[in-house]
Amino acid sequence: MMPELSDSCLLLDLPDDVFTIICRFLSTRDICILSLCCRSLYVLVASEKVWLTQCDMVGIVPHRDLLEWRKGVSSYRALCRFLVSVKPLIGIWVHQNPELGNVVYVMPGFVSVVGCRILPQELGPLGIEEGPILWAPVFEIIGDLDGSTAFFLHGREKGNDYVYPGSVKSVERNCNVLLLEVDLRQQKSKLFPNKSFAYNSDRELARNVSRSHSELPGSQRMIIQCEAQVPFSRLAFSDRRKLIEVVTTQVGQKVSDLANSLLFPRLRNDEENFQKDLALLFERRSVLLKMYNLGQGFNWKEAPEVPFDPMQLQLSEVRKILDQSSGSLNEDDNQMQSNTKRTLGGYFRASIRQILGKPPSINGSHTHSKHSCSRSERKHAPLHDFLRSGDTIGLALHATVVRLSSYRAWPNMHDSRFALYKLPMRGPRADEEYAGLWGGTFGWPPGKPTEDKPGKALFFLLVSYEESEGKRNLIATKILEGTHYVLHPNGSAMFIVNIDEPLYDPFPWDVDENSFPLIIKHAFAGEGIANGYGFRYPGSKPGSLFVIENGLLVFVWKESRTVLTMQRLNLQELLKKGERVPALPPISNFSYLTKSYSNVFTGFSAASACLSSPRQRNL
């Protein structure tokens, strides 16, 4: 009788290529669990072939580019760790302000992802495919040797380009909001990053404090725990802005010519130049990681001890800067308590607490309702409560999930958050073949310049589907407009058509821009945007959408015979052929919170010629 073979033995007897094929049907989580079964499976799963397959399945980078990215990390497993962590960031992010701009596309770089702002602009005579797209860097996240992440915010000050290093706080799988925050943490050693600079006596003290807290009632322990963890989002807007401004001014590092070169390789149509781009990107990445880990101009000979963390500031330094600007922000709790009791309101609140039997403090920590985690807590937390929860402070990128309402695929945003909001992008499928990102221009033939208008304003439109009153509508939502002064608000529907009811009206023209006959595949009736109820609530007028065989969508307003022509965009390819322009100052560069209906990017001489345009005729 033959001995039974275990499942692990069967896997171990498989050829490497067969086992790699099987791993294609397993998730990264499954692979990690499989490696915990036994030592032999751990060795088998650690194969480079297995993790190359997993990197390929993430789908961010083509297979042949993965081979190049591998040169910048220790293993394909480390590369997979980085790819999985940044995948949720890939896509289009927006903000309401200003109305012209703040469309940020996050795309792969070189062992990195890069956030690029698409600037409002006109198209030249070459059209969308050939004309250079203007863009400015917003941030980038670089993968380190072990697959960990290094965050850099981009900005410009006093005529020079800077980077502002920080940490990636967390990236949730289904994140829809990208927040720029400051993060507090305990002082850590650069040589032993997982160990704090806490000695045994400090740890004993911490254990004693925890033991004393454990003797308190549960409600009081919860109050103390909530006090120790004040999230950045609970601070008032003025405090959040103040902290981010202080940190950016202190951690900013001037960018060298090498670090200010390519952020991603150009198109791979010339292999020789492509390899030159990769060599330059590899060197640039090394420089940035050295700046991230050691700071700018660090010298081991002069400072052989444990280097400081260039992206973290000592909290004492931040307090001094804040004190100089606003004064008395670092008062201790006892001093604040005594000041409160001197006022009439303080006496009144103390009396109420005495009647209700609530002590003023527990071990020096206030139990006032503003510090509790109940529904009665104050809307904003005091700044000093936030600052006392760590030793050092630094920039942080936080990708999280929040409950957002939306209208026609455009999220309703908070005006007081340094945030970008992700657009729900859907690729085309059988029942929604027109879904996705489109580029549009006014006029027919599409993009053809005239003597009075040498360029056409470029529109980015997100096409989505929506069911309403039993009808299936196709909606083209405007997310970018290339005029000098905005005519249509971000998030407005340029047109809405009912795709369940075909139209049989003829197309107004018989030939395209090359005088070739046009073949109309489909036509639908609908309504297009028009002035009538003000900027924020525009009116609409009847029109028709025509689907042309060459892949164009054309909407025609019936009365004015105005034409909006749209074609699909490959934004990644357009950016690789595009033209980089200087960025805004760092905080505004991430999210420009000042309301503006004009183009705030026209102040740059390098782009002003391409960005300015005459105002479009009203529809």
Q: Calculate what percentage of the chain has a pLDDT beyond 90.
A: 37
Task: Describe the chain by its helix, strand, coil percentages, rounded to 5.
Answer: 30, 25, 40
Contact 217, 362 (CB under 8 A): no
Structure-block tokens of residue 325 = 């600007």
- Across residues 492-501, what is the average pLDDT? 91
Report which of residues 221 and 127 the model is more confident about. Answer: 127
Least confident of 62-71, 468-477, 530-539: 530-539
Please give the Cα distance from 429 to 88 (Å, whole number): 21
Residues sharing a CB contact under 8 Å with residue 124, sequence separation 6 or more, in sequence order: 131, 449, 454, 455
Domains located in the chain, CATH noted: 7-86 (1.20.1280), 425-571+604-611 (no CATH)
Average pLDDT over residues 62-84: 94
> What are the Cα distances from residue 323, in Å, to 243, 314, 320, 359, 589?
12, 15, 5, 31, 27
pLDDT digits (tens, 9 = 90+) for 56-69: 999 999 999 999 99
For residue 166, what are the contacts with CB-CB under 8 A and spacing of at least 6? 151, 152, 153, 183, 251, 311, 394, 395, 396, 397
Instruction: Report in angstroms the alpha-carbon separations of 40 from 30, 32, 131, 230, 253.
Output: 16, 14, 56, 46, 47
CB–CB of 106/137 below 8 Å?
no
Residues 6+ apart with CB under 8 A from 270: none
Kind of pairing between the strands at 122-123 and 112-118: unpaired
**Is residue 163 a contact partner of residue 311, using CB atoms and an 8 Å limit?**
no
Q: Is 543 exposed, middle or buried (0-12, 13-18, 19+ CB in 10 A)?
A: buried
Q: What residue type is 167 in one-letter code?
A: S
Predicted structure pTM score: 0.80
pLDDT, position 11: 65
pLDDT at 377 over 80: no
Q: With H, G, I as helix, E, B as strand and everything else as coil, classify residue 348.
A: helix
Q: Which residues contact 341 (CB under 8 A, 6 or more apart)?
A: 347, 350
pLDDT value at residue 585: 93
Task: Give the range among 319-333, 418-432, 474-488 with minimum mean pLDDT.
Answer: 319-333
In this predicted structure, the answer to whether residue 565 has a pLDDT above a threshold of 80 is: yes
Neighbouring-strand partners of residue 548 = 520
Res. 340: pLDDT tops 60: no
Tokens read off for 350: 């103390």
For the cut 60, the answer to whether the pLDDT of residue 348 exceeds it is no
392 close to 173: Cβ distance less than 8 angstroms? no
Q: What is the mean pLDDT of the chain?
A: 77
For residue range 141-178, what is the model confidence (pLDDT) as tens digits?
999 999 999 999 999 998 899 999 999 998 999 999 99
DSSP state of 549: T
Q: Which helix (H) or strand (E) holds 122?
A: strand 122-123
The radius of gyration of the chain from alpha carbons, rounded to an integer in Å, stands at 29
pLDDT for 107: 97
If DSSP codes are grouped into helix, strand and coil, which group holds residue 21? helix
In whole angstroms, what is the distance from residue 212 CA to residue 272 CA?
68
- Residue 124 reports pLDDT greater than 50: yes
Q: Residue 252 CB: number of other CB atoms within 10 A?
A: 19
**Dihedral sign, Cα of residue 577, residue 117, residue 403, residue 537:** negative
Query: How confident is the model over 424-440, as pLDDT tens digits?
Result: 888 788 888 999 999 99
Nearest to 92 by CA among 420, 404, 477: 420
How many Å apart are CA 30 and CA 147, to the nearest integer? 19
DSSP 6: P
Mean pLDDT of 122-127: 68
Is pLDDT above 50 for 265?
yes
> Is 139 within 8 Å of 590 (Cβ atoms)?
yes
Judged against a pLDDT cut of 80, whether residue 390 lies above it is answered with no
Name, in order, each residue with C-beta under 8 angstroms of 301's C-beta and a sequence gap of 6 or more. none
Angle at 343 between CA 338 and CA 347, to 5 degrees: 80
| Res 450: pLDDT | 60
Confidence of residue 564 (pLDDT cuts 50, 70, 90): very high
Does residue 331 have a pLDDT over 80? no
pLDDT at position 308 is 54
